[in-house]
Amino acid sequence: MQLSVDQQISQTKLILRPLIGLMSGQSRDEIEWYCLKEMEKHRRLRDEAVTLEAAVADAANAEEASQCMKAFIPAMIAVHAQHTVVSTLLDILGYIPDACAAKAH
C-alpha cells in the first residue's frame, strides 16, 4: 500500500496540511515558484529578527531592553512559523530549488 504525500510527510515531522491541499493540482514549476517566494519571505523575517535581537543586546537600560524583547519575540514566532511553511513546501516539492543556493546567506 502506497502512502499519500500527506501521510509520507506527516509521518516524520510537523507539517501544514492545508498547504498540501493548496498545492495539489499545481505543477512542479508553480510549487517551486511559491516555495522560492516563501523562502525569500523567511529570509526577510529572519533578518528583521536578527536586527531586533541586536537591539535587545544594545539597549541602554532594562526598560529599553524589555521593549525591544517585546518586538523580538513576535518576530521570532513569525520566523519559526514561516520556517514550517517553507519546510512543508520543500517536502511537497521534493527537492531544494537551485535558485535558492544563489541567494542563500
User: Looking at the predicted structure, is the pLDDT value of residue 10 above 60?
Assistant: no
- pLDDT-derived band at 5 (thresholds 50, 70, 90) equals low
User: Once rounded to an integer, what is the mean pLDDT over residues 19-38?
Assistant: 96
Cβ-contact 79, 42 below 8 angstroms: yes
26-103 to CATH, choices 1.10.1660.10, 1.10.287.160, 1.10.540.10, 3.40.50.720: 1.10.287.160
- pLDDT-derived band at 87 (thresholds 50, 70, 90) equals very high
**CA-to-CA distance for 15 and 4, rounded, in angstroms?**
14
Residues 6 or more apart whose CB falls under 8 angstroms from that of 38 comprise 82, 85, 86, 89
User: Looking at the predicted structure, is the pLDDT value of residue 19 above 90?
Assistant: yes
Domain spans, the chain: 26-103
* Cα angle: 25, vertex 28, 31; to 5 degrees: 80
Residue 46 or residue 13, greater confidence: 46
What are the C-alpha distances in Å from 27 to residues 13, 30, 34?
24, 5, 11
